[in-house]
Structure 1
Amino acid sequence: MRARTYHDSDADLDVLTGRTVAVVGYGNQGCAQAQNLRDSRVRVVVGNRDDDYRARAVHDGFEVLGIDQAARAGRIVLLLIPDEVQAGVVAEQIAPGLGAGDTLVVASGYNLAFGLLDLPADVDVVMVAPRMIGEAVRDRYLRGAGYPCLVSVERDVTGTALATALAVARGIGATAAGAIESSAREEAALDLFSEQAIWPTVFAVLQASYEVLADAGFSDEAILDEMYLSGEPAEVFARISEMGLLEQLRVHSRTSQYGQLLHLERSAELVGTLRDRFARILRGEILSGRFAAEWSAPGADTESRIRALLDRAGTHPLIAAERAVRARG
């Protein structure tokens, strides 16, 4: 299935003329997006609680208001605070300040996809979701390079929601490389799938590899360097991004190419097992809403849950070996 891609020529920055954009949250994304919009000659105010991020926004020359004040001041409100606090902050501080015809912009589809935001019925709701950390969003804007970004219209009351979303995307530099038409459901599902299927499997592969190699009598230093401490995997992923999965094999030795391709063919059973597991995660945990209901349950102590999981993960011998190797320098 193909998706439409929007470029600078599809987006009109004049759509934002005379409309104040309130950037709520001056963290990783908020800092970058606020500065990019300002450099695109958009009127920006920042809404933030009284913390170090607020002080940073003041230092960077922005008018900084309380979150509730920013929501009232902005005709377009960018919601750039963590997923797990959005529902409460929106209900208590943002929704009451939104007026008819205003636009709420999310950078993560999570809370919209799982119905966790209680919003007035007379506001537009769109998504502009950079697929880059904030530092890269800022750096690539300054270089005019662009970066991957997903955009969607989740509710169009005014009939101009798409134009507003694309104007915001252009203002933060996303359409320079092409912003892809998507949905909050798609963005959230893909993000959660990477976090719950792909990366845990990578962790498990490293754990199993360490166990096998350590049992064979190889040193922790050599094993960890081979697996990831050398930084080689990052180089491989960079080449995959630049060249493609198979094309990047050309920069490996012939021995490496033969071994990788041979055992790829011999991994058909493993691929089938992973496909079944991943399908259960996608459908049974993510799309069903089961994970969202567990993670976003009212009053859930997210910090203690994460700490307990980290403590259990930290008991694997790979983690002890890594700490020892790092300590030895």
Structure 2
Amino acid sequence: MPVKIYHDEDTDITIVQSKVVSFIGYGNQGRAQALNLRDSGVNNIVIGNIDDDYAKQAREDGFSPVSIEEAARQGDILMLLIPDEDQQTVWNEKIRGNIKPNSTLVVASGYNVAFNLLTIPDDMDVVMVAPRMIGAGVRDRYVQHIPYPCFVSVEKDPSGTALATCLSIASAIGATRGNGAVGSSCREEAGIDLFAEQALWPEIMAIFREGFNVLREAGFSEEAILFDMYLSKEPAEIFERAADEGFVKQLKYHSRTSQYGQLSTMNRHDGKDIREKFHHILHDNILSGKFAEKWSNTKWAAEELAKEWKEVENAPIVQADERVRDVIKPDRKK
């Protein structure tokens, strides 16, 4: 069954224009979406943020940030746009006891809702408006009137009007232009996102790492390997053409030798080992809630992330990358 896709004509922007919209966090997504809402005629915007560089940026942008607790008390709509691993703690300590009755929670990441990490009042609507790009892209495309992909969903609807509110917000940030916003769910958004982060991209990065090691062991120069693998930006161009014209159809821009090499190898790769590994990651680590349980411990998360960064710094491809970049951009560290 095809998913529902929502366009500007499906929305009523006056709904969000009539509400007090409180942003919890003025970072990556918070700033972009707050500016987009303001430019769409939403005049009652409250920025809730701790007193840091993000709060300073909010003041420079013409807002008057308040505490997270005060923002929660004022908001008809709460835009929860702080990092996934911080949401449960902030929710419990600063938001939960200050929520306005019959308000709406909006998330841009399905993670905490999907894994039931937030205790949400019975009278609170819960919706997701999840742009599929970083905040800077959300802002730039809004200003340039360029469509961008976005997932939307209704997770809890005690008011009976959650979908209308959700689509009004999506319209105001520019997410229902062009191809429209795709109906989804927090479980789907979080599952796919975590799968890409824990299965797909790590496999791609490991392939590049081991490819570098094999080529270097064969006597090829580090400069030539890195330029051919990614410093030329050819992979970026390939992915852009894949997005525009098709995952396989982009091969028509490659040489016949390249086409044969890629197709003949891929067609005979049964993928069994990869599927088994991916199945384990998706079901045993992600959908089981095992990862979410660990990652909600902010102290553990910070320590583990620091360990992983320290370990990767010793990889030959990382050290070669640093050396080659200093050669091709000698003033990079000045």
Normalised by the length of structure 1, the TM-score is: 0.96
**Does the 8 A contact of 1:91 with 1:119 survive in 2?**
no
Match of 1:222 in 2: 224
Q: How well do the aligned residues superpose, as a CA RMSD in angstroms? A: 1.2
Match of 1:126 in 2: 127
SS in 1 for 2:299: coil
Superposition pairs of residues 202-213 of structure 1, within 5 angstroms: 202-213=204-215
Q: CA deviation at 1:303?
A: 2.0
The residue identity in structure 2 corresponding to 1:144 is H
Q: CA deviation at 1:142?
A: 1.2
1:19 aligns with 2:19: yes
Match of 2:266 in 1: 264
Work out the CA distance in 1 between the residues paired with 2:58 and 2:30.
9
**Does the 8 A contact of 2:103 with 2:125 survive in 1?**
yes
Superposition pairs of residues 1-329 of structure 1, within 5 angstroms: 1-43=1-43, 44-177=45-178, 178-268=180-270, 271-297=271-297, 300-329=299-328
Q: CA deviation at 1:261?
A: 1.0
Work out the CA distance in 1 between the residues paired with 2:217 and 2:53.
48
Aligned residues: 326
The residue identity in structure 2 corresponding to 1:166 is L
The residue identity in structure 2 corresponding to 1:115 is N
**Does the 8 A contact of 1:99 with 1:122 survive in 2?**
no
The residue identity in structure 1 corresponding to 2:296 is S
Cα shift readout 1:69-117 (whole Å, capped 9, x = no counterpart): 1111110010011111111111222222222210010110101111111
The residue identity in structure 1 corresponding to 2:288 is S
Cα shift readout 1:244-275 (whole Å, capped 9, x = no counterpart): 1121111111221121111112222xx12111
Normalised by the length of structure 2, the TM-score is: 0.95
**Does the 8 A contact of 2:5 with 2:183 survive in 1?**
yes
SS in 2 for 1:64: coil
Q: CA deviation at 1:46?
A: 1.0
SS in 1 for 2:18: coil
**Does the 8 A contact of 2:132 with 2:149 survive in 1?**
yes
**Does the 8 A contact of 1:149 with 1:174 survive in 2?**
yes
Cα shift readout 1:199-241 (whole Å, capped 9, x = no counterpart): 1101110111011111111000000111111111111111111
Work out the CA distance in 1 between the residues paired with 2:147 and 2:267.
37
The residue identity in structure 2 corresponding to 1:121 is D
* More moved, 127-136 vs 97-106: 97-106
Q: CA deviation at 1:316?
A: 2.1
- Residue segments in structure 2 that go unaligned for 5+ positions in a row: 329-334
SS in 2 for 1:53: helix
**Does the 8 A contact of 2:47 with 2:64 survive in 1?**
yes
SS in 1 for 2:86: helix
Q: CA deviation at 1:57?
A: 0.6
The residue identity in structure 1 corresponding to 2:32 is A
Work out the CA distance in 2 between the residues paired with 1:52 and 1:300.
22
Q: CA deviation at 1:179?
A: 0.6
Q: CA deviation at 1:127?
A: 0.7
Work out the CA distance in 1 between the residues paired with 2:140 and 2:322.
33
Work out the CA distance in 2 between the residues paired with 1:55 and 1:196.
34
Work out the CA distance in 2 between the residues paired with 1:166 and 1:237.
30
Q: CA deviation at 1:315?
A: 2.3
The 4+ residue runs of structure 1 with deviation greater than 6 A are none
Cα shift readout 1:118-155 (whole Å, capped 9, x = no counterpart): 12111111111110111110111112222111111111
Work out the CA distance in 2 between the residues paired with 1:324 and 1:143.
38
**Does the 8 A contact of 1:47 with 1:67 survive in 2?**
yes
- Residue segments in structure 1 that go unaligned for 5+ positions in a row: none
Q: CA deviation at 1:319?
A: 1.6
Work out the CA distance in 2 between the residues paired with 1:160 and 1:97.
22
Work out the CA distance in 2 between the residues paired with 1:238 and 1:180.
21
- % identical equivalent positions: 51
Work out the CA distance in 2 between the residues paired with 1:130 and 1:197.
21
SS in 2 for 1:99: coil
Work out the CA distance in 1 between the residues paired with 2:261 and 2:211.
17
**Does the 8 A contact of 1:140 with 1:147 survive in 2?**
yes
